[in-house]
Amino acid sequence: MKAKIRRALLKLRGSKRYDYFDEYERLQWQPIMENEKYQFFRLKQLLNHAYETVPYYRDIFRSLDMRPDDIRTKADISRLPVLTKNIIKTNKSGLTSKAFKADELITLSSGGSTGEPLKFFTHHNFFEEHNATFMLSLKIAGWKENERLISIWGNPNDGRIKPGLKTFLKNVLSANLHLNAYKYDSSTIRDWIEHIQAKNNTFIYGYTSVVQNVAEHIIDKNIHISNVKGVMTSAEKLHDWQRILIQKAFNCKVYDQYGSREVPGIASECPAGNMHQFLHSAYVEYLPVLDHPENRCKLIVTSLINKAMPFIRYEIGDYAVPGSRICPCGRGYPLMEMKIGRIADRFITSKGKTIYGTFFVRQMYDIEGVKNFQFHQLDTHSIRLNMIKSHNFSEIDIHKISQIESNIKQALGWDDLSLDVQYVDEIPKTIGGKHRHIISDVTG
Ligand SMILES: [Zn+2]
């Protein structure tokens, strides 16, 4: 009943969010080919809009002696150049659509995992579509419209955004609760757990590392959680050990979700444990990375929902692998393998070799007494490993940690590497409040 009232109220206020949501719910069960056709239709609409109203894209089409009509297949899109963060930073006005008045533009800023945050424009309808896709992710994971959603979110910028996720959560979903995870300690976590336990059929959504910290607390204190239906993690990579830990603590399945602030709603996990690409929301291209040990591809994404500042063929900074299997759940959205990672999560050796961060993260998998860690490359021969001990830190852990340097040297042939292990109380987060397991001061 409550859900019906909320729908009606929003509709009265002119919101199209539930119309989109109902439409996306329907689309997920269409055959993949139908959804691909629909995606191409939306992509063409966006290209026409960009050509007509965005100076940067008009210039690009002209310089290529092309018009949007010349793009007849998806392969044709690769003729357009890749959009980088640097282009956006230096050409903000040229990338802004003339179809919007200044007061219709809403400024957002991406967390800025490295360096300064990226500022860009969106518009009201961007949030309508984004929130509808977000509801679809939750629904796929088993959430129902009348159930409580607790978001544990850490972006300090969210408070300044008007029609954003926070407002959405506050106003639209039932009995929802936003827990500000930008700064927290163990007493804050204790309060959060009380909130979580207060009602049945609760769903949790949050930053992976923060949810991980809550899970650790639950396990440490031997707290029994039986009222959480599902946990959805986002914003940071979900490692397998984190998934196992969170599932154990909350006694339910964990669902991963993929998207960024600039291009939200790219993919989401279904009950069969597969990541489905939301074709209505984004168009994804996979560019092979030469010499990548796990055949991962650089992701180039086009957001189909931002008309104020179209992100066409945007280099999002992540790599992934397209899925080739068919999911037993029957959804008409193709799969993306779960192995999504950040391109910046890599180290460069003194011999110029690139080492992907997952190798380092794996070294920590069976060290039980470490709460959190970060490998920080300072130069081509030194890495600092910052670690936060947990109360069950043991001699066995000390022994395992003492082996890491030689393991790395042996496996990678990085002979002049020096690993400096530091035990710390806190590991600084990014401007967007995210935790990084891998950071590097070495570029190349
Ligand atoms: Zn599925």
In a domain, 13, yes or no: no
- Domain containing 361 — which CATH number? 3.30.300.30
Strand order through the sheet with 370-379: 418-423, 382-389, 370-379, 438-440
Centre of ligand 1 from the C-alpha of residue 269, in Å: 7
Domain residue limits at 375: 346-440
295 CA → ligand 1 middle, Å: 23
The string of DSSP letters for 220-232 reads HTT-----EEEEE
Task: Identify the pLDDT of residue 43.
Answer: 97
Closest CA to 211 of 238, 229, 191: 238
Alpha carbon of 82 to ligand 1 centroid (Å): 30
Q: How far is the CA of 263 from the centre of ligand 1 (A)?
A: 22
Beta-bridged to residue 303, according to DSSP, are 282
Taking the centre of ligand 1 as the mean of its atom positions, its distance from the CA of residue 271, in whole angstroms, is 6
Neighbours of ion ligand 1 (CB under 5 A): 270, 272, 274, 327, 329
356 C-alpha vs ligand 1 centroid, how far in Å? 28
User: Rounded to the nearest whole angstrom, what is the distance from the C-alpha of residue 327 to the centroid of ligand 1?
Assistant: 5
Evaluate whether residue 350 is within a structural domain. Answer: yes
Confidence of residue 169 (pLDDT cuts 50, 70, 90): low
Higher pLDDT, 2 or 180: 180
| Residue in this structure with the two tokens 């001061």, named with its chain if needed | 441
Cα 180 to chain centroid, rounded: 18
Per-residue pLDDT, 161:
40
Is position 31 within any domain? no
Give the per-residue pLDDT at 77.
95
| 83 contacts: CB under 8 Å, gap ≥ 6 | 311, 312, 313, 314, 315
Ligand 1 centre distance from Cα of residue 272 (Å) = 5
Instruction: With respect to residue 50, please indicate whether it lies within any of the assigned structural domains.
Output: no
Rounded to whole angstroms, the Cα distance separating 160 from 162 reads: 6
Domains: count for the chain? 1
Determine the distance separating the centroid of ligand 1 and the alpha carbon of 236, expressed in angstroms.
21
Any domain includes 387: yes
Going from the Cα of 90 to the center of ligand 1, the distance in angstroms, rounded, reads 40
Residue 184 Cα to ligand 1 midpoint, Å, equals: 35
| The pLDDT value given to residue 343 | 73
Q: With H, G, I as helix, E, B as strand and everything else as coil, classify residue 146.
A: coil
What pLDDT is stored for residue 76 in this prediction?
A: 95
Average the pLDDT over 230-237 and give the result. 89
Q: Does position 157 have pLDDT exceeding 70, yes or no?
A: no
* Residue 426 lies inside a defined structural domain of this protein: yes
Q: Flag whether 178 is in a domain.
A: no
Q: What is the mean pLDDT of residues 347-366?
A: 82
Q: Per the domain annotation, does 60 fall within a domain? A: no
42 CA from centroid of ligand 1 (Å): 23
In angstroms, what is the span from residue 273 Cα to ligand 1's centroid?
7
Q: Are 380 and 350 in contact (CB under 8 A)?
A: yes
Ligand 1 centroid, distance to 187 Cα (angstroms): 38
Return the higher-pLDDT residue of 123 and 413. Answer: 123
Whether the Cβ atoms of residue 322 and residue 297 lie closer than 8 Å to each other: yes
pLDDT at 178: 83
